[in-house]
Structure 1
Amino acid sequence: MQTGPVDNEIINKVLQGEQALYAQLVKRYQNYVFTIVLRYTTNREDAEEIAQDVFVKAYRSLADFRGESKFSTWLYTIVTTTCITFLRKKKVPVHSLDTEQVFELADNQNSAFRANQVEQKSKIQVINEALRLLSIDDARIITLFYQAEQSLEEIGRILGVDPNTAKVKLHRARVRLKEKMEKHFTEEVKDMVG
């Protein structure tokens, strides 16, 4: 899965003056960071700006990384705080997915999209669209476990809960994701299992 020097080796060398090696960490984690950022904003330009900002902040704070968890766990914290700060500055409205109006909007957008694109969607696209219909907390824990490949212990550290609580939250988020997929992406789900 991971080739070349491990993250901690690269970090130690960067801190000892070999700053150019930081590019290896950026390359290794750019998709990870971008995927998480897209959970907060669907605007690609904003996402690119935020991702770049994340790597600048991580570089400046690299001496604070103690190696008690994976680098990706530490980086995730920087990603989420940077995203939240960015959205607050932009004053982007945050909608509750509990309101009927948001569901109607999602239904209308998705039904038109499905009519034209059913055959072209990949499993990943469908899952990502379904994740956008979840609460930020549910989308975050699913992203951490499946896309960022964090353990329940690491997810617990990130969320400030014990691993068993993280496991329960993950289970509930998976149930809600399944419900969203069955409701909004019925045809795509049939294609995936069929």
Structure 2
Amino acid sequence: MMQTVPSDLEVIDQVLKGNQQKYELLVKKYQAFAFTIALRYTKNREDAEELAQSAFVKAYLNLRDYRGDAKFSTWLYTIVSSLCLSFLRKKKLEVHSLDQEYVFERADAQESSLKADYIEQRSKLQLLNRAMELLHPDDAKLLTLFYKAEQSLEEIAKILHIEPNNAKVKLHRARQRLKETMEKHFAQEVQEIF
């Protein structure tokens, strides 16, 4: 007999009723999501891990405030985002630093035990991330929400406080600018990888 995976709302309900261990299900499900968002802000893996972890603690402590009118991931995105902005203000770090990203890419490329297809996927992802770094932060944020965070246009509209149609138009324009950026800056790499 197959066991069904409980929905986020069911898990939250169980946690609020005293079964705190169930919160681990949400952490496992959204760990990579929270880390990806934090890394876009900090460009530092250690800081991103710490901020993602802090976001889960904050979400847990404020779980009673989650109303369920948006996906849990949308609510979590807001928490991660605000923690990252506070962190950056405190540290006065530069939000865009490509140097650290290149160090990680070189380190990743030197992992000889990785399978060829995995390396190819990483190369595509790194190339995409490098191209997104060159975009305006608003475009990068939109693309991250839609593709990496898998948010719907309605959820993106809520996060950005705009109308869904406006989100759709902005996403279309961001995709165009990403395509143009890749063609302009990474034409050779695109031909080699894709």
**How does the TM-score come out when normalised to structure 2?**
0.83
| 1:191 Cα offset (Å) | 2.7
What's 1:51 paired with?
52
User: What does 1:128-143 align with in structure 2 at a 5 Å threshold?
Assistant: 128-143=129-144
User: What does 1:102-181 align with in structure 2 at a 5 Å threshold?
Assistant: 122-181=123-182
Q: Percent identity of the aligned residues?
A: 61
Query: For 1:20 and 1:51, how far apart are their aligned partners in 2?
Result: 19
1:75 is aligned with what amino acid?
A: L
| 1:94 Cα offset (Å) | 4.2
Query: For 1:79 and 1:135, how far apart are their aligned partners in 2?
Result: 20
Unaligned runs of 5+ in 1: 96-101
Unaligned runs of 5+ in 2: 111-118
Query: For 1:153 and 1:37, how far apart are their aligned partners in 2?
Result: 22
For residues 40-85 of structure 1, the C-alpha deviation after alignment (integer angstroms, 9 at most, x for no partner) is 1111111111111111111111111111111111111111101100
RMSD: 2.3
SS of aligned partner of 1:150: coil
Q: Which moved more, 1:182-191 or 1:35-44?
A: 182-191
What's 2:31 paired with?
30
| 1:125 Cα offset (Å) | 1.5
Contact 2:88 2:95 in 1 (8 A): no
For residues 100-141 of structure 1, the C-alpha deviation after alignment (integer angstroms, 9 at most, x for no partner) is xx9xx88xx79xx7xx99x86521121112112222211111
Equivalent residues, number: 176
Query: For 1:62 and 1:135, how far apart are their aligned partners in 2?
Result: 33
Query: For 2:137 and 2:27, how far apart are their aligned partners in 1?
Result: 25
Query: For 2:144 and 2:46, how far apart are their aligned partners in 1?
Result: 21
Query: For 1:47 and 1:135, how far apart are their aligned partners in 2?
Result: 21
2:10 is aligned with what amino acid?
A: E
SS of aligned partner of 1:122: helix
Query: For 2:54 and 2:32, how far apart are their aligned partners in 1?
Result: 14
**How does the TM-score come out when normalised to structure 1?**
0.83
| 1:27 Cα offset (Å) | 0.3
User: What does 1:6-21 align with in structure 2 at a 5 Å threshold?
Assistant: 6-21=7-22
1:37 is aligned with what amino acid?
A: A
SS of aligned partner of 1:51: helix
Contact 2:41 2:95 in 1 (8 A): no
SS of aligned partner of 1:4: coil
What's 1:90 paired with?
91
| 1:25 Cα offset (Å) | 0.3
1:76 is aligned with what amino acid?
A: Y
What's 1:99 paired with?
none
| 1:184 Cα offset (Å) | 2.1
